[in-house]
Structure 1
Amino acid sequence: MPGIRITGLRATPVNIPLEKPMWWTGGHYPGTSKTVIEVETDQGLVGLGEAPSVDVLSTIREMGERLIGEDPLDIAGCENLCVPPWQIVQNTDDSSVVKAFGAIEIALWDLRGKVTGEPLYRLLGGAVRKNIPFTEYFAFREGGEMRPEEIADYCVRMREEHGATMFEGKLILGDPNLEIETVRRLRAALGPQDMIRLDSNMQWSLPSAIRIFREIEPFDIRNYEDPVATFEEMAQLRRHSSIRISTHAPDIRRAVALGVPDYIVTNFAVLGGISRTVRFIGACEAMGVGFWCYSGDAGIATAGYLHMSAAMPWITEPSQSLFRWQVGDVIEGGPFRQTDNVIAVPEGPGLGVTLDRDALAHWHRHLVENGPLDHFRDPALPGRFRRLPLD
C-alpha cells in the first residue's frame, strides 16, 4: 500500500482487574492499568499497541503528534523522531520514553501486518510452533486461596477443568515456613510430572532465600523468579542451589558476567518494541540466557507474545499468564485463556486481534471512576508502603 501515512494516534488508559486481589511483595495486587494505542492512517487501517502502564500516557500522546504525516512502515524513522540516543536514555536519562515508543512500535508492526495481509509471526520469519504454552497462576488471594491446602486444591482443579500441567505462582506473605509447606503440598497434590515455578518479587533476604531453596529443592522446582533483590545476591544463592533463577531486569551483560539469572522475563514495550525484542532475544540466545514473556497484560500485548513465541526458537519455556483471573479485556473474544497449557497463535493480519470498542469504553470508564489500580496498597499498613525484604 504505497504512500500510507499516519493521520493520528489515540491513547486510552484502561483498568484490567483480577477477579480476586492477590498478594505480592508490594502489598495488594487487584489488577493492572494499561494504555491502549491506536495508530490511525490515511488508508483506513489502524494499528493496535499497548503500554504496560499509564504513567507514559502524556509521552505517548506527544509522540503521536510528532508522527502525524510519517510513514508507519518506516519504523526506524519513527523511532528517530521519538527517542533520543538509545544509550543515553537507557543509562543516564528518563527511560520512560523507551517504554512509550515501544508501545507505539507494537502498533506499527500491527499496521505492517495489516498492510501486507500477513500475521506478525510470518513477518518475523515464520512459525516454529503454532500452539504457545503458558503457565496457570496460583497465589494467596483475598477472598480465595489463603492456606497451603487451598493453593494445592486450586491447582488440581485447574488440571481437571483445563488440562493444566504447568503452574507458576507467588507465595508472598512474608513467611518462609508457609512457602515451604505450600510447595510441599503442591508437589504431593500434583505428582512428580507437573511443572512448578515460583515468583517471589524480591521478597526474601539472602539468608532466608538460601534456607527456602534448600528446603524446596527436593520438590523439583523448575524455576524461581527474583527470589532476592540483586543479581549479586542471586550469584550467592546459586552457590547453594541448582534451582534455576529468572528475573524481570533485562540486563544480559550482568547475567552473563555473574552466571545468573538463567532467564529474563519481560514486556516488549519495556525493551523498546518488537524490533528491539527480536534483537534482545537474539543476544540472549548468543549468550545462553533464556527468555520468556511477561504476565498481566491485556489482549493486545498478549497477542504480541503469542506471535513472538511462535517465531522465536529460543523461547522454549512456557510464558507467564494471569488470563484465568482477568475479568475483562479490550479485544473481541478476550481475554485469552489456555486449554491443555496452550493458546493458538492468531492467524489474522498483524497481531490478529480486533479492538472491542464497548469493552475499551467500559474499562476506560472504570479507570476514570476508580483511578488506576494500585499495586502497592497494603491493608495492614494504611497510608504506608512495605519495605523489603519481608523476611
Structure 2
Amino acid sequence: MKITNIRVTHVNVPFDAPFWWTGGLYPGASKSIVEVETDEGVVGLGEAPWYHFGEVIKAEIAPALIGADPLDLADCEARCVPPWQITANTGEGAASVAFGAVELALWDIKGKVFNLPLYKLLGGAVRKDIRFSEYFSFRPEHKGAGGEMCPEAIRDYCLRMRDEHGSSIFEGKLIQGDPELEIRTVRMLREALGEKAQIKLDSNMQYSLTTARWLLRELEPFNIRNYEDPVATFEEMAALRQHSLIPFSTHVPDLKRAVALGAPDNFVCNFAALGGISRSLKFIAACEVMGKGFWCYSNDLGIMTAAYLHVSAATPLISEASQSLFRWQIGDVIRGGPFRQINDVVRVPEGPGLGVELDPDAMRRWAVLFEDEGPMSHFFDPARPTHHRTLPLH
C-alpha cells in the first residue's frame, strides 16, 4: 500500500455564542481536515489543531509522504519531522504538529486495513464510556444563545446541564480580570450543585502570583478538583503549590520541568500538538511513571475527539474527565457529530480505525465559511479591537 495523495481542507465551525478567555472573545474553531488517500482506496482522516498547520502539511508533509507506506509510521515520521532536540531551539516545531495531524490519519488507515477499532490496535479497552466535563464561561448573548454574563446565569446554566444531560463534572473559565467575581461564582456553583459535583477552573494564566495566592486560599473551601494554569509559568505554579492544595494542570507539555519543580500536577494536551498518537502514548506513559496526570484538550472537532476516545479507552491513566466544548458546537465535519456526553460520558466508537466518517455536506458548509470569512480570531477584545491584551489581567 502506498500514499497517493493528501488532501487538506480548512474549515470554520463556530460556537453558538463566543466565550471569554484571557486572550479575548473565543468564537469557535478554525481547523484543517486531513484526508490521506492510498492506492488501495483506503482513506484515513486527521485533524490539525489550527488551520496554519494545514498549510505546513500542504507545503512540506504531503510532498514528503507521497509514495510512502502508510502502515510504516516510523518511516513516515522520519520523512517529515527533524530531530526535536534541534527544532526546539530553532523555532521550527510546526512540522511535528503538522505531521501529528497526518499521523492520526495513518492510524485510521491501519485500523481500516485490519478492520479493527483503534482502541484494539492500542491493546484493548480498559473502559468504553469516556468521561468529559461540561464547560461554563462568561458568554455574551448571540442569536439567542449564551448570555451567561453574571454568576447567577452561570449557576443556572450548569443546573440546566445537570437536569437535561445528567452532568456532574463542570469546568470553566471565569475570566473577567476580577478574582472576587470568580469567588462569588464558585461559591454559587458549589451551593447549587452540591458537594458531589466536580468543579474545575481555568484562568488561562490571567493572574499574577500574588493574586493567585489569595484567590486559591479563598477557593479551597469549595473543593476545587483542578485549576488549570492559574499563573503563567511552572516556576510560579511551584511557588503557588506552597500555599494551595488544589491540583494544577497545564497545556504546556514540559514533563521534565514539571517533575523538577513539583508542579504542575497534570497535563491536558492535543495529540497533534504532541506529534501524533504514537508520541502521545509515550508522553502519557512517562507521565504515569513520574506521577503526573493526563487528560485531553477541548475545542476539537469529531476526528480528533474520536482519537481522544480511543486512546482514553485503551489507557488506564486517563481516568479523569477530559475537557469538552461539545455543547456549544453548532456542527461538525463528521456524520452524527458533534459528540455530546450524557451522564458525563461518550461511548468509544466501534467502527474500524477512528470509527468516524466525514459528512460531505457539512464539510462543504464549513469550508465555504472559512473561504468567505477567513480564520476566526481568538484574540479579539471589543474594548480594544486593534490591540492584544497584556497578561496578567490582575
Partner Cα distance (1:218, 1:91) in 2: 43
Query: Per-residue displacement from partner, 1:227-271 (whole Å, max 9, x unpaired)?
Result: 000000001111111000000000000110111100000100011
Partner Cα distance (1:87, 1:44) in 2: 37
Query: Per-residue displacement from partner, 1:274-319 (whole Å, max 9, x unpaired)?
Result: 1000100000001001000000000000000000100000111000
What's the counterpart of residue 144 of structure 2? none
Partner Cα distance (1:109, 1:242) in 2: 39
> Greater CA deviation, 58-67 or 345-354?
58-67
Question: Which residue identity does 2:81 align to in structure 1?
Answer: V
> What secondary structure does 2:370 align onto?
helix
What's the counterpart of residue 118 of structure 2? 120
> What secondary structure does 1:18 align onto?
strand
Partner Cα distance (1:94, 1:18) in 2: 31
User: In the alignment, does 2:240 pair up with 1:242?
Assistant: no
Question: Which residue identity does 1:135 align to in structure 2?
Answer: S
Tell me how far 1:150 sits from its aligned partner: 0.7
Aligned length: 388
What's the counterpart of residue 152 of structure 1? 155
Query: Per-residue displacement from partner, 1:342-369 (whole Å, max 9, x unpaired)?
Result: 0000000000000111111110111111
What's the counterpart of residue 58 of structure 1? 55
2:187 to 181, 184, 194: 184
What's the counterpart of residue 102 of structure 2? 104
Partner Cα distance (1:83, 1:90) in 2: 12
2:148/2:154 contact within 8 Å kept: yes
For 1:1-391, list aligned pairs within 5 A: 4-61=1-58, 62-143=60-141, 144-391=147-394
Partner Cα distance (1:319, 1:286) in 2: 20
> What secondary structure does 1:55 align onto?
helix
Partner Cα distance (1:254, 1:16) in 2: 35
TM-score after normalising by structure 1 = 0.98
Runs of 4+ in structure 1 over 2 Å off: 90-93
Partner Cα distance (2:337, 2:242) in 1: 43
Partner Cα distance (1:56, 1:45) in 2: 23
2:61/2:95 contact within 8 Å kept: no
TM-score after normalising by structure 2 = 0.98
Partner Cα distance (1:44, 1:54) in 2: 26
Question: Which residue identity does 1:20 align to in structure 2?
Answer: A
RMSD of Structure 2 on Structure 1 (CA): 0.7
Partner Cα distance (1:148, 1:348) in 2: 42
2:225/2:246 contact within 8 Å kept: yes
> Greater CA deviation, 61-70 or 233-242?
61-70
Tell me how far 1:84 sits from its aligned partner: 1.1
Partner Cα distance (1:329, 1:81) in 2: 31
Tell me how far 1:58 sits from its aligned partner: 2.2
Question: Any stretches of 5+ residues in structure 2 without a counterpart?
Answer: 142-146
Tell me how far 1:57 sits from its aligned partner: 2.1
Query: Per-residue displacement from partner, 1:80-125 (whole Å, max 9, x unpaired)?
Result: 1111112211333311111000000010000000000000000111
Question: Which residue identity does 2:3 align to in structure 1?
Answer: I
Question: Which residue identity does 1:121 align to in structure 2?
Answer: Y
Tell me how far 1:190 sits from its aligned partner: 0.3
> What secondary structure does 1:56 align onto?
helix
Question: Which residue identity does 2:209 align to in structure 1?
Answer: L
Question: Which residue identity does 1:292 align to in structure 2?
Answer: W
Question: Which residue identity does 2:169 align to in structure 1?
Answer: M
